[in-house]
Each structure stands twice: as C-alpha cells, then as structure tokens.
Structure 1
Amino acid sequence: MGECNISVVHGSTHKYVRSALLPLISPTMVRDQLLPTIDQFVRSYVSNWDNQVMDIQQKIKEMAFLSSLQQVVDKESMKIKDKIMPEYFKLFLGTISLPIPLPGTNYSRGLQARKAIVRIIREVMEERR
C-alpha cells in the first residue's frame, strides 16, 4: 500500500526499489543474520507459554509482528509496539482486501493505518535525531 510499493511502481523506480530490497533478503543475509535473530526471539517469546490456555493464532500473529518490528527498530524503541500493533493488523487486512476506497472498508482502514504507522515511525526517527 502506498505510492512507492514495489508492486505498483514501474520502470526505473521499480528497478531502484527492487535493488534496495534484494540485498535485505538474499539467501546469505537470511541464513547468517535474519534466521539466528528470529530464532533467538521466538525461543524467548515461547519460553513463557508453559501451562497456559491461549489463542495460538493471535499469539503467532503477535510474534510475527514483534519479530519484524524488532528487525526494523532497536530494542529500546520497542516501546512503540502498543501504538503500532493495532495499526499493523489493520494494514495487513487492507492489503489482502479488495481495493475499494470507500469509508468503512478494510482497504480504507488499511490506508489510514498506513498513514498512522508512517507517522509513528517518523516520530521515532525525529526522537533519534
């Protein structure tokens, strides 16, 4: 979702975005840096699940979100997780819905969630500066 989404842009802009994204998901990068970090996070996240009744689907969604958030922001900025998590789930629903920009649709809520996420990330960036 957005103007610079890799599935939306064409030509030289698509090439530029693709060349920026590919090194982040190369097999070497995934094997050497991403998987060990995710493995460590998942082990620590799951370690306190003993003898509890829980909604496993919700926990897995939270775990996937928190793992990806940890890759983007450092651990001290994880304080934004409570603000950004509901917006992220709205954004996800918006990306898998029909692109009908009418108020009240998942797509419309996804667009609004994207704006909120960008605003939150900008605030974090300004705070770091």
Structure 2
Amino acid sequence: MEHRFSLQHEVPQPLEVVQGMLTDMVAFGDLHPLMDHVENLGQGRYRLHEFKCLPFGLKLHFNYEAVTYVDTDNGSILYEAWPKGMQIAISFTFTGEPEKTLVHEDIRIRGLPGFIGILKKAIVESHSTLFASFTL
C-alpha cells in the first residue's frame, strides 16, 4: 500500500543554511528528535540509527539505510530510506527569502497499512520539532 502527504515549514534561516542541514545527514541526525546517530557510508548513503520511546521509559532501537540526492539545477533534495519492510521517499523543495526559508515536503510511504499510519505520525511530529529547532 502507498500513502502520500505533504508538510510545510517556515524556518527562520537563509536558504543555504537549510539546504546545507538537509544535505549533511550527520548534522541532520544531530538535530532530529528520533535519531541516536547517523553513519556516513559515502556517496550519499547513510545508516540511520533511530529510537522510539515506549511506555515505562523503554526505547525501541532500529537502523536502516538511506540515500540523498541533490538536484543542483533547482536545489531540491530527494531523501529515500528503507526501514524494515517499508519505503520512504521525501522530496524537499524550498522558497528562500533573506530572513527565512519555506520548506515543502512531498512524502510517500509504502508498506503495510497499519505501519504506514504509525510512520506518518512519527514523521509529522518529528519533522515539526526538527524544523522548529533550525534557529540562529
């Protein structure tokens, strides 16, 4: 099954700063609220180590590979990842102004229906927190 949705964030940073954070996955992982750390595997490939908080202070840890592609013509960024049994594709496009950047995410999730809903909720919540943390 496939589900598509979009998110939009206004970030109080210049376009170059926002694009730089999204293309440097190690730095991105440092800001992402669900990532323990990110390993750079080279050539735009990464291993992401994430966690999900469970009741009673327990954490569920998991890791998966991801790749990033940058379109140098228009500055857009495509992120693809493969958590176990799932596929995520996020296309980031930007509208830059001197003091802020509008980030638009087109997101596609493929996988089992029950897990798609869980993953969508995690993306919406974590990306809202993530982009709010992109401050000067």
TM-score using structure 1 length: 0.30
More helix by share: 1
Higher RCO, Cα 8 Å, sep 6+:
2
Which structure has the larger Rg? 1
More strand by share: 2
